[in-house]
């Protein structure tokens, strides 16, 4: 199109034009290989860093020194509620709803206890029919049997070591909610309503160390609430 004498297309477009330059899509092709290398390096570097961090943490776990969270500050975290996060990656993970797999201090084997010993869920997690939190038994509860039973097993020896030191086993939560979702879950009304443990926690009798087999998102809860005709008012769970 003729736009008049003395005016170039590049003037109209403020200087940006394709004169003498490659087409836009071509830039991506040109930089794609170096970008790929950088991406791989970043992922590898990140995993290496994470691996190193975990090894360091497990070493701390094994020692009986006072253990801190991974920010490595010396003072214990305040139990006061705050929406602030310890780091950017923490905040990002929460935003994306990511929950990591916990590392348990002792490889507790659900399969043996449930299938072989025929223990019920509420035998150990006794708070479930009674209140909000199902709870986890203290080391004295476990030692009642394991003073004798399978005492030579290396995991049981770890258990006995905690008991001998007068410490409770630092179990890590498998199912939990981020605190600033302000969601409160009470086990007892669900047990009372006849909801089986496996509906939310999966078939734990097949698991050794407990892993999160279902992601307890709000959608997951709502599906069941809708199906059963139970209240879906906000303040039923968020208060």
Based on CB atoms, which residue is closest to other proteins, 173 or 192?
173
| Complex with other proteins: residue 57 or 113, whichever CB lies closer | 57
* Nearer of residues 121 and 163 to other proteins, judged by Cβ: 163
Least Cβ distance, residue 229 to other proteins (angstroms): 26
Please say whether the beta carbons of 199 and 104 come within 8 A. Answer: no
Measured from the CB of residue 31, what is the shortest distance to other proteins in angstroms? 7
| 10/1 Cα distance (integer angstroms) | 13
| Distance (Å, whole) CA 48 – CA 44 | 6
Residue 100 is classified by DSSP as P
CA gap 140, 165 in Å, rounded: 12
Q: What is the smallest separation between the CB atom of 154 and other proteins, expressed in angstroms?
A: 21
Tokens of 128: 């479930």
Phi, psi of 173 (to 5 degrees): -65, 135
CA angle 30, 33, 35 (to 5 degrees): 100
223's tokens: 């599906």
Instruction: Report yes or no: 232 and 226 within 8 Å, Cβ to Cβ.
Output: yes
Going by the DSSP 8-state scheme, the letter that residue 101 receives in this structure is P
Helix 154-165 × helix 139-146 angle, to 10°: 130
Closest CA to 203 of 114, 103, 101, 102: 114
State in angstroms the smallest separation of the CB of 214 from other proteins.
17
Collapsing DSSP states into helix, strand and coil, what is residue 127? coil
- Least distance to other proteins from the beta carbon of 50, Å? 3
Closest CB to other proteins among 130 and 205?
130
Nearer to other proteins, 176 or 226 (CB): 176
Binding site for other proteins (CB under 8 A): 31, 35, 38-39, 42-43, 45-47, 49-51, 53-54, 57, 60-61, 64, 66-70, 76-77, 79, 88-89, 92-93, 96, 98-103, 126-127, 130-133, 135, 138-140, 163, 166-170, 172-173, 176, 186
CB of 227 to other proteins, least distance (A): 26
Of the two residues 7 and 44, which places its CB atom closer to other proteins in the complex? 44
Instruction: In angstroms, give the least distance from the CB of 37 to other proteins.
Output: 11
- Closer to other proteins by CB, 63 or 235: give it: 63
């Amino acid at each position: 199109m003729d736009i008049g004498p003395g005016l170039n297309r590049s003037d109209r477009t403020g200087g940006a034009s394709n004169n003498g330059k490659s087409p836009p899509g071509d830039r991506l092709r040109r930089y794609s290989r170096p970008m790929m290398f950088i991406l791989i390096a970043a992922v590898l570097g990140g995993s290496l860093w994470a691996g190193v961090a975990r090894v360091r943490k497990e070493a701390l776990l094994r020692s009986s020194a006072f253990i801190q969270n991974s920010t490595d500050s010396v003072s214990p975290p305040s139990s006061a509620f705050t929406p602030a996060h310890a780091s950017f990656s923490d905040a990002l993970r929460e935003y994306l709803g990511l929950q990591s797999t916990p590392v348990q201090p002792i490889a507790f084997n659900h399969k043996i206890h449930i299938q072989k010993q025929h223990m019920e869920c509420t035998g150990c997690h006794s708070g479930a029919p009674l209140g909000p939190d199902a709870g986890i038994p203290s080391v004295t509860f476990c030692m009642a049997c394991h003073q004798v039973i399978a005492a030579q097993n290396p995991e049981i020896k770890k258990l006995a070591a905690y008991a001998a030191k007068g410490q409770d086993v630092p179990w890590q939560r498998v199912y939990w909610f981020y605190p600033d979702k302000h969601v409160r879950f009470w086990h007892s009304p669900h047990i009372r309503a006849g909801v089986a443990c496996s509906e939310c926690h999966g078939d734990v009798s097949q698991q050794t160390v407990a892993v999160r087999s279902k992601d307890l998102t709000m959608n997951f809860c709502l599906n069941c609430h809708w199906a059963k005709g139970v209240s879906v008012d906000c303040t039923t769970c968020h208060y």
